[in-house]
Chains A and B, each alone.
Chain A
Amino acid sequence: MGTNAASGALGADEDPRSASWPNHANTIYNRHPGRFIVALVCIAALAAFVYALATNPNISWKDVAFYLFFPKILQGVLVTLELSILATVIGLAIGVILAIMKLSHNPVARMLSTLYIWFFRGTPVLVQLIFWFNLAFLFPKLVIAIPFTSIGYMWDTNTVMTGFNAALLGLALNLGAYAAEIVRAGIQAVSTGQSEAASSLGMTSAQRMRIVVLPQAVRIIIPPFGNEFIGMLKTTSLVYVVAGNDLMTNASQIYKENSKIMELLIVASLWYMLITAVATYFQEKLEKRFGHAQGVSSAKRTARRVGLGTAAVRVIETQAAVQLTKDGQ
């Protein structure tokens, strides 16, 4: 810090006392040796683990590379993606309906919704998958018909409940129960003042929901729902018990033939990790996009951003003003 008395006592930088204040040049900072040791131990442990894995004679990395792009594995990846996306979309639709039922004035609708959520959250998804796959034991034929007439269609349950369809049904119905709770929380997080203002302008309850409440609830719902989708990507692996032709089913079919269990589990894990990473990337983009318009959930974040913005503008203005004063002198 220079103490140039000739330039006058304008501004904090030129304050002659500042040389005696703590600054980067004259201060000794804490060193945190503990952090360094912990980091070293962690790296050593990780290195040992990677070394043990890489040099393990029981893992053939060549086979991992071979099966990574094996056609049957790639088909499995596609089915896993298809299953996850369809189950999430259908689950979300079920969730919105259940959430609105749960918040309705109709006690029967409320009770049905509660019952559904209890049942599907209360039983393991594995049990539900096997149940749907074996639906033919309960109902050998599925019939859609107008009552008391002969107009309608009939299917053989076993041809409808393929591994894929049973998996889709089971996963979607299950996710619907969790989605219902997320959507309900999102709707309730939108303040009652919003709906009152909409009411006072003459909107009907359906308009209030569609125009004011749901668009704001969506922003609150997206982050937890992204997590549900990422969870779903991996839950689909349970589908292998009903032979749904997903990634895990196909990987297991290969290792049952050639006994390269570890190699194929690594192949499957690599694909799951890749898909999850991509999904996480899109979830973050989606969050940013929906956080752009000012919602309840993002209000604080946005306020902070706007605050920073105006502060920055103020700094620039101040600098410009300082510049002007200096030029004037």
Chain B
Amino acid sequence: MTSTENEPVVIAEGVRKSFGDSEVLRGVDFAVAHGEVACIIGPSGSGKSTFLRCLNALESIDAGRIRVNGADVGYTLRGEMFREWRLTEFAAFRRDIGMVFQHFNLFNNMTALENVACAPIKVKRTSKRDARERGHALLERVGLGAHAHKYPSQLSGGQQQRVAIARALAMDPSVMLFDEPTSGLDPELVDEVLEVMKGLAVGGMTMVLVTHEIGFAREVADSLTFVDGGVVVESGAPREVLANPKHERTKQFLSKVL
């Protein structure tokens, strides 16, 4: 991408989004710098997951502007006018952004290795041999080298989520989005996933993370954003926000989850 090093990788300005009559996002401003780990917290129904899905255009926005890697998401500026992206342009844009879902969403008809190697082969046209080799290496990296041949239903939730992370990494994304990656897991399986994510953060990956894991946010994140009622209530350094919340709503929320 042609963006300068100083420009944030992700910038959102005044993002609005409604589902029917209910307005879920009411003007969200947000930015993530290169190599930053940004955590978004907030009560359920606050719009945090919807906002994350807007970042890779899984949801369209009604108003505002989202720029990723220096390009407007969903539109190309042509002189004075914005032209809406074609479906193939959306697809090309999403190649560069990894996403990890709450319910893993591994492809049930493929083994762990096929899940990881599938998109590089079909989308990036990597040779099958290279993609499988790379897939093996990625599965090793998330600690699942011995499970490459297994189908999702033969893996635990924690293992599935680690395969899902490897699958997203296989496309060499410039940003990784995590949508409550540990909320669907049994408590004893949460750590193995957080461990992998910590490794990514240390490795310098730009990450946007919607989560309820306050401990992880405090330890690993560079910034913490509290969202409620479709707006950003408060954001800053995680220790600062968690120790000295300035807004009443932030205090209330933190008193319930801490």
Contact = CB atoms under 8 A, between A and B. Distances in A.
Interface of A: 191, 193-194, 196-205, 207, 211-212, 215-216, 219, 293-296, 299, 302-303, 306
Which applies to chain A's interface (DSSP): helix, strand, loop or mixed?
Answer: helix
Contact of A193 (B105, B168, B171): B105
Contact of B118 (A193, A199, A205, A211): A211
A181 to B, nearest CB: 22
A154 B107 CA distance: 50
Interface in B69-99: 87-88, 91-99
B101 interface: yes
B151 A197 contact: no
A199 B168 CA distance: 12
A294 B152 contact: yes
A200 B109 contact: no
5 smallest beta-carbon distances between A and B, as pairs: A202-B95, A197-B105, A294-B151, A201-B119, A200-B99
B122 A294 contact: no
Contacts of A293: 109, 151
B153 A202 contact: no
A219 B108 CA distance: 11
A194 B97 CA distance: 17
A200 B56 contact: yes
Interface residues of B, number: 32
A215 to B, nearest CB: 5
B208 interface: no
Contact of A202 (B101, B123, B151, B164): B123
Nearest to A306: B154
Interface string B57-71: 010000000000000
Nearest to B170: A201
A189 to B, nearest CB: 12
A294 B160 CA distance: 14
A205 B87 contact: yes
Interface in B138-194: 151-154, 164, 167-168, 171
B109 A215 contact: yes
Contact of A196 (B96, B105, B109): B105
B85 to A, nearest CB: 13
A329 to B, nearest CB: 35
B103 interface: yes
Nearest to A212: B107
B101 A211 contact: no
B119 A202 contact: yes
30 contacts: A194-B107, A196-B58, A196-B101, A197-B106, A197-B107, A197-B164, A197-B167, A200-B94, A200-B97, A200-B168, A201-B167, A201-B171, A202-B92, A202-B95, A202-B96, A202-B119, A202-B171, A203-B91, A203-B119, A203-B122, A212-B107, A216-B109, A219-B109, A293-B109, A294-B108, A294-B109, A294-B152, A296-B108, A302-B154, A306-B153
Given A196-B101, A197-B105, A201-B94, 17 more contacts: A200-B58, A200-B94, A201-B95, A201-B118, A201-B123, A201-B168, A202-B93, A204-B87, A205-B87, A211-B122, A293-B109, A293-B151, A294-B108, A294-B151, A296-B108, A299-B153, A302-B153
A207 B167 CA distance: 17
B2 to A, nearest CB: 20
Nearest to A210: B122
Contacts of A193: 101, 103, 105
A194 B171 CA distance: 17
Nearest to A216: B109
A193 B105 CA distance: 6
Nearest to A219: B109
Contacts of A219: 109
Nearest to B124: A202
B94 A194 contact: no
Given A201-B119, A201-B123, A203-B123, A295 B88 contact: no
